[in-house]
Structure 1
Amino acid sequence: MDSLGLFALLTLALSQWTAASSVEEITWTYSGLIGQSEWSEHFPDCGGTSQSPVDVITTQTKYEPSLIPVTPLGYSQHGNQPFTLSNNGHTVIVELPEWMGFRGLPWFFTAAQLHLHWGNGGPGNGGSEHTINGRSADAELHVVHYNSELYTNMSAAMTQKDGLAVFGILIETGDETNPAFNNILNHMSRVRYADQKAFIPAFDVQSLFPEDLGRYYRYNGSLTTPPCYQSVIWTVFHERVQISKAQLLKLETMLYSSKAASAASMLLQDNYRVTQPLNHRVVFASFSADSGTELSSGEVTAIVIGAMCGCVGLAVIVRFIVKTVRFFKVLHLETVVVNRINESGKSKEKNQELVLNTSLEPERKEELSPDSARPTRLSQAVCSSQTDAKILSV
C-alpha cells in the first residue's frame, strides 16, 4: 500500500474514532439539557422513522402464526461467577454472561445485559416505555441480546439492522413481593451514584420473565436511548410481571443520576422515552385477538373472583328454588292428607247418622203403636155408651 493510501486509511479511522468519541462525550438526559426533544440534533438516528418505544394498539396488530414461543437457553443456569451491577446515570444495568441466549428468533441471539425503566411515583404517570392501547405500566424491564450468528460482539451488532433483539417486560405493582427482582433491588444501594459498579450474587434471570413466553408483540424498532440505532427486533410480552409497591418505591427513590462527587444530587427518575410514531410499521402478534384480551393480573383476579361469586350466588339460588319446591310439595301433601282426613271424618259422621237412624226406627214404631190403639179404645167406649143408652131406653 502506498503512502497516500495509508494516509487516507488513517484519516478515515481517525475521523470515525473522533465521531464515536464525540457521541460518547455528549451528556444527554431525559428532561432538561439535551432532553428527548433535542436528541435528534445530536444523534441523527433518534429522528429516524423506525424508533422505539411505540404504543401497541391491539386492534391494529396483525396475527402472525409463524411467531413461535421464544425459548430461553441457560437463563436458569447462572453458575458461580457473580454478576456485575452498575449505574450509568440513566438506569441500573446487570451484565449477563454470554452462555445465555434465546431461540425463537430469525437468528440465535446471545444475552448482553438487562436494565430497567421507571417513573417518579406520581399517580397515573406510569414508568414503562412501551404502552398498550395508550396505557402505561409502572415500569419496564429490557433484556438486550446481540446477533451472535452474524456478529462477534455487541458493539459490532448494535449498528446493524439485524444486530439486536430486546425483550420488553411490562411491570405492574400489587400486594405481593416478587423475590426475583430482589436479586437486583436489594443491591442497588451499592451503586446509588452514576458510574458506580458492584459485584452481586448470580441468580436465575429467567425468574424475571413472565410465565407465558408464547404470547407477545413483535416489531422492528430502535434503541430507546441515544444513539437510537434502528437495529432492534423488539419482543414485548403480552403477560405482565408484578412487583410490590414497596419494591417499586425502592426502584424510584434509590438511585441518583449524578455522580457521588457532585455538589447537587439528582434522583434518577422518569428514565423512559415517550412513545414514537409507527410510520406505517406493522406490529405483529403471536396470538389472535380471539385467543385473549389485554388483561392485567388484577383484572384476571377480579374475573376469577367474580366467577366464583357468581357460582356461589347461583348455588344459593338453586338451593332456594329446591327448598321452595320441596316446601310446596310438602304443603300439597299435607293439604291432601287433611282433605282425606276431613272426608274420612264426614264419612264416619254419615255412617254414624245412618246407624243412629236405623237403631231409632223400632223405637219410633213402638211410640206409634199406643197412638194407633187409642182410636180403637175410643170407638169401643162410644159403642159401649151407645149400648148402655139403648138399654136404658128399653
Structure 2
Amino acid sequence: MHFQSSSPIVLLQLTLLGVLHAAKWTYSGPEGEHHWPKHYPYCGGAFQSPIDIRSELLRFDPTLRPIEVQNYNLSPNEQLTLGNNGHSVQISLPSKMHISSLPHRYTAAQLHFHWGSSNQPTGSEHTVNSKQYAAEMHVVHYNSDKYPNMSMAVDKSDGLAVLGVLIEVGEFNPAFEQFLRFVNGIKYRDQRVQISGFNIRALLPARLDEYYRYDGSLTTPPCYPSVLWTVFRNHVTISRKQFLSLATALYSSHAQDSSPVPLNGNYRKLQLAESRVVLVSFKEDDQSWINTGLLVPILVSSALGFVLLVSLLCCLLRQKRSAAEQDKSKRAAYNIGDRDECGSRV
C-alpha cells in the first residue's frame, strides 16, 4: 500500500515514507519480492499479507458488527488526486471519511488497486479457497484516535485498517468509471490528475456485514505487520473493457524512460497463514464436502441408487403386467369353455 496526496500534511507523510521506501522495489526481476527482505526485514517476518482465506482457518465470531463507513459519498465539488505511483493507481481520500464500527476511529487516507494482466486476468492479492479474482481494491485507513497522521501509525500494531474488495470481470460498473475514464492522464509513473469527488461507497459490495477479518501486514514494502484486514465476502464486478484499462494502459516507468515498463501483475504472492485464525462475521453454508474427496463418491452412490430404483420400478411394472395378462387369459378361457358347453359356435 502506498500513501500520497497533494495536501501539506500528507505530503509530509509521503516524505517520511519516502525514506522508508528508499530502496527500489518491484514485483519481479532483480528488485522483485523475493529480494524485499534484504532491504525491508519485515517482508520476511511474521503476520504477512496477503493469505489464502481457506475454510479451515475460519472461525465465526458473533461479536463482529457490520462495517459502517461515514462520509463516503463525496460531493462533485471536492477534488481528489488520481495518481500513478509506479506500483498502482491510487486515489487520495479526504480525512472526513472514516470507519466508525471498529474499536477506534480509523480515518481514510487513500485507495488503490492490484490487478493481473490481459493474458492472465487474475490479480487479486487475497484468494478464497485458492480462488484468485481479477483484481483487488484496498481502502486504507489509519487509527486517528491514537496517532496524528499516517506516518506515525503505519508501523504500529494497531495503526492501520484496510478494507479489501475482491473484483471479478463481469458486468460494467458505473462507479469505477468515475476514475477509470481518466487513466490515460496518468499513464506513466508520478503522473497525477485532479478528478471530481464521487460516491466511494458505490465501489464497495452492497453488503458490508459479511466479511473476513484477520491481523496482517502491508502487502508492499516495508511490509509492516500493522494492518487489521477486513476482506468482504462478496465481490464486485467490472467489465472486461474496464479491467483492460488498468491492465494495458499504464506503465510503471517514467514518460521519459526509453523502455516503457507495463504496469500489471502488481500483486504480492500469498504468504503463510501460520497460526493465524480468520474470523468471519457470517455462518458459512455447510458446503465443505464439496471441497473434499466426498463429492465423487456421493455422486456415484446417488447414480447407483437412481439406477436401482428405476430397475425396481420396472420389475414391479413387469410383474403387474404379467399378472394382468394371466388373469385376462384365465377369463378368456373360462368364457370360451362356457360357450362350448352350451353348444355355442366357436
TM-score range, shorter chain: 0.7 to 0.9
1:238 aligns with 2:233: yes
1:36 aligns with 2:66: no
Q: CA deviation at 1:279?
A: 1.4
1:199 aligns with 2:194: yes
CA deviation profile, 1:152-177 (whole Å, cap 9, x unmatched): 01111101000000000000011x21
Counterparts of 2:217 and 2:255, CA distance in 1: 31
How do 1:143-154 and structure 2 match up within 5 A? 143-154=139-150
Instruction: Assess if the C-alpha contact under 8 Å between 2:85 and 2:191 holds in 1.
Output: yes
Which residue, out of 57, 61, 66, partners 1:60?
A: 57
- Which ranges of structure 2 fall in alignment gaps of 5 or more residues? 1-15, 289-346
Match of 2:328 in 1: none
How do 1:41-52 and structure 2 match up within 5 A? 41-52=38-49
| TM-score (structure 1 length as normaliser) | 0.67
Instruction: Decide whether aligned partners of structure 1 residues 201 and 249 sit closer, same or farther in structure 2, where only a CA change above 3 A counts.
Output: same
What's the Cα RMSD here? 1.9
Instruction: Assess if the C-alpha contact under 8 Å between 2:59 and 2:277 holds in 1.
Output: yes
Instruction: Assess if the C-alpha contact under 8 Å between 1:49 and 1:278 holds in 2.
Output: no
Match of 1:270 in 2: 265
Match of 2:21 in 1: 24
Match of 1:229 in 2: 224
Q: CA deviation at 1:201?
A: 1.1
CA deviation profile, 1:56-99 (whole Å, cap 9, x unmatched): 00243000000010111000133612100111000010000000
Matched to 2:92, the amino acid is E
Q: CA deviation at 1:200?
A: 0.8
Q: CA deviation at 1:21?
A: 6.1
How do 1:241-390 and structure 2 match up within 5 A? 241-290=236-285
Counterparts of 1:141 and 1:93, CA distance in 2: 10
Match of 2:67 in 1: 70
Match of 1:309 in 2: none
Instruction: Decide whether aligned partners of structure 1 residues 116 and 21 sit closer, same or farther in structure 2, where only a CA change above 3 A counts.
Output: closer
Counterparts of 1:58 and 1:94, CA distance in 2: 33
Match of 2:130 in 1: 134
Instruction: Assess if the C-alpha contact under 8 Å between 2:188 and 2:253 holds in 1.
Output: yes
How do 1:201-220 and structure 2 match up within 5 A? 201-220=196-215
Matched to 1:57, the amino acid is R
CA deviation profile, 1:287-333 (whole Å, cap 9, x unmatched): 1123899xxxxxxxxxxxxxxxxxxxxxxxxxxxxxxxxxxxxxxxx
Q: CA deviation at 1:33?
A: 1.8
Match of 1:91 in 2: 88
Counterparts of 1:77 and 1:85, CA distance in 2: 15
Counterparts of 1:78 and 1:276, CA distance in 2: 39
Identity of matched residues, %: 47
Instruction: Assess if the C-alpha contact under 8 Å between 2:85 and 2:190 holds in 1.
Output: yes
Which residue, out of 161, 170, 173, partners 2:157?
A: 161
Q: CA deviation at 1:102?
A: 0.9
SS state at 2:21 partner: helix
CA deviation profile, 1:112-159 (whole Å, cap 9, x unmatched): 000000011224x51000000011000000000000100001111101
Matched to 1:173, the amino acid is V
Matched to 1:150, the amino acid is K
Counterparts of 2:208 and 2:272, CA distance in 1: 26
Q: CA deviation at 1:250?
A: 1.0
Q: CA deviation at 1:22?
A: 5.5
How do 1:167-186 and structure 2 match up within 5 A? 167-174=163-170, 176-186=171-181
1:110 aligns with 2:100: no
Higher relative contact order (CA 8 A, sep 6+): 2
Counterparts of 2:247 and 2:80, CA distance in 1: 22
Counterparts of 1:43 and 1:79, CA distance in 2: 39
Q: CA deviation at 1:38?
A: 0.6
| TM-score (structure 2 length as normaliser) | 0.76
Counterparts of 1:232 and 1:84, CA distance in 2: 24
Counterparts of 1:185 and 1:20, CA distance in 2: 27
Match of 1:81 in 2: 78
Segments of 4+ moved more than 6 angstroms: none
Quick check: which has more Rg, 1 or 2? 1
Matched to 1:141, the amino acid is M
Report how many residues are paired.
275
SS state at 1:273 partner: coil
Counterparts of 1:22 and 1:115, CA distance in 2: 21
